[in-house]
Structure 1
């Protein structure tokens, strides 16, 4: 699976991506990434190596690298927690640098993930969680078809104040309706 647009590409993330994945995404980690994902600020190269080895063996997930026109990894698209019996999975996307945000790359990569989830994996439901203070991500998710399904009030700390965790999902009928131009 490989797709391109305006010089950018999406392909499966591989264990041999370690050096570039670590250098571009985690060394140093963009503070905005920590803020918008609730992630940890520091990962060692060995932790990233172990993570890549672990996910490459996990059949309940698909991890894709987003590459810039120079072939550098600038982010990832992940479909994980796949339940084939119920036909559902979780989704997440991450662009490692602010330089690539608000340029349509996230929407393009998310649409790729939707096509993969509903056409290749034959899923019925794809869901995600997003922090209430990440309004840009919420807007992008809505734009591509995700709908808010609920809110876990005061589920996370934003500095010293609480913030909500928003639950969003897109169903296969929503996806097909959007792709065929239906209402």
Structure 2
């Protein structure tokens, strides 16, 4: 048995964990691939283990206790975001992951944690816990020549030409371009 399986076996009666498994991580619902489900479980298992090992008094904390604490903090509007325990847990775990793993692994694990909290009704700003690939693999960087852009423009439909011109003239990424709305122009 893997360490995740051992942990989840120990927590098989945990209410919050079962809700998450049933609503989101159920391979029978065909909403997620098995590998994605396994990544989410692995990420959350690492998160729970990290909290148990690094926060005094939480050696036996359960997912339900974490969810209850986070829901309580979110209802109390007087607590600043940086004073919330959820922020401490997430921030410390995120820093730990960044030091130990590659960016893709960091984000896979964090998405598992985000997903758990979402499905137990806890909302928070995730932007502090997201990596952008600041050091992309040099083999994946390729700059188009003007002749290649002209050729693409000849073969593209009107929408694609607009997207190509927007990217070439502004440097905007494909992801950011696709998020643009008419109101943002």
Per the normalisation by structure 1, the TM-score is: 0.32
Per the normalisation by structure 2, the TM-score is: 0.32
Higher strand share: 1
Higher helix share: 2
Name which structure has the greater RCO, CA cutoff 8 Å, separation 6+: 2
The structure with the larger Rg is: 2
